[in-house]
Amino acid sequence: MTIPVKVRVNGTLHEESLEPRVLLVHFLRDVCGLTGTHVGCESSICGACTVLIDGQAVKSCTLLAVQADGSEVQTIEGLATDGELHPVQQGFWECHGLQCGYCTPGMIMSGVQLLDRDPKPSRDDIRHGLEGNLCRCTGYGHIIDAIEHAAKQGGRSWRR
């Protein structure tokens, strides 16, 4: 059995017929070919698969693609505009906010939501806001610097 699904991903409309059990992260990776969203735990804990659905950060490894029907999904690939990095991406680059890079797309998407909700977070607010994303490389210090750096650049909403 398949179910028709209409999802706009990074501005492009995808109309597919999917098995209802297909996870959103597999839809994005295997159907849309957007492999920037990573799978780290398949249990909503590590946050490597974080994407924005209608502006809300969600973990796409425990959401079914059919649940995203009719919504607008933004992944890491859709964050830069016309080759210009999003301030959060730029912050990660400037502040060495990544090492192996595997958690990074999810971490950046959570950072985008964090600044959307609170454009001027304190360092402790950032720590709290990123609790749903695990990183084993950086010790988070440079990630917190990166979000602070982005906040100083004025952030930028996920909406264009």
Partner 1 sequence: MAKVKEKPYFGRAMKRVEDPRLIKGIATYVDDIDLVGMLHAAILRSPHAHARVSSIDTEAAKSHPGVVRVLTGADVNPHCGTIPCASPLPGQNSPDHTVLAGDRVYFVGHPVVVVVAKDKYAARDALDLIEVDYDPLEAVIDPERALEKDSPLTHPDLGTNHAFTWSVGDDPTKLLEQADHIIKVRMVHQRLTPMAIEPRGCVASWDEGQGFLTLWTSTQVPHLVRTLLPGLVGAEENKTRIIAPEVGGGFGSKLQVYAEEVLACHLSRRLGAPVKWIEGRRENAAATIHGRDQIGTYEVGVKKDGTVLAVRSHTIADLGSYLQLLTPAVPTLTGLMLGGCYKIKGVRMDVVGVHTNKMATDAYRGAGRPEAAYAIERLMDIVADELGLDPVAVRLKNMPKPREFPFNTATGLTYDSGNYQRALKEAQRLAGWNALLKQRDRARKAGRLFGVGVSTYVEICALGPSKIMAAGGWEWGSVKIELSGKVTIATGVTPHGQGQETSFAQIAADRLSIPIDDITIYSGDTATSHFGRDTYGSRATALGGTAIVLSIDKVIEKGKAIAALLLQSKPKKMEFKAGSFFVKGRKRNALGWAEIATEAYIAKNIPAGFEPGLEASSFFEPPNCTYPFGTHIVAVEIDRDTGQVKILKYVAVDDCGKQVNPLLVEGQVQGGVLQAIGHALMEQTVYDESGQLLTGEFMDYPLPRASDAPEYVIGSTETPSPSNPLGVKGVGEAGTIGATPAVANAVIDALSPLGVRHVDIPLTPERVWRVIQAAESHPPVSLMVPDEDRKGGRK
- Interaction pattern, residues 21-60, with partner 1; x per rule: CB under 8 A: xx------x----xxxxxxxxxx-xx-x------------
CA distances from 151 to 19, 59, 90, 125, 148 (A): 41, 23, 11, 12, 5
The DSSP code for 119 is: S
- Among 117, 136, 152, 159, indicate the residue that binds partner 1 (CB under 8 A): 136
Question: Rule CB under 8 A: is residue 130 a binding residue for partner 1?
Answer: yes
Q: Nearest distance from residue 123's CB to partner 1, in Å? A: 7
Q: Nearest distance from residue 80's CB to partner 1, in Å? A: 6
Q: Where are the beta strands (DSSP E) in the chain?
A: 3-9, 12-18, 50-53, 56-59, 72-74
Nearer to partner 1, 14 or 89 (CB): 89
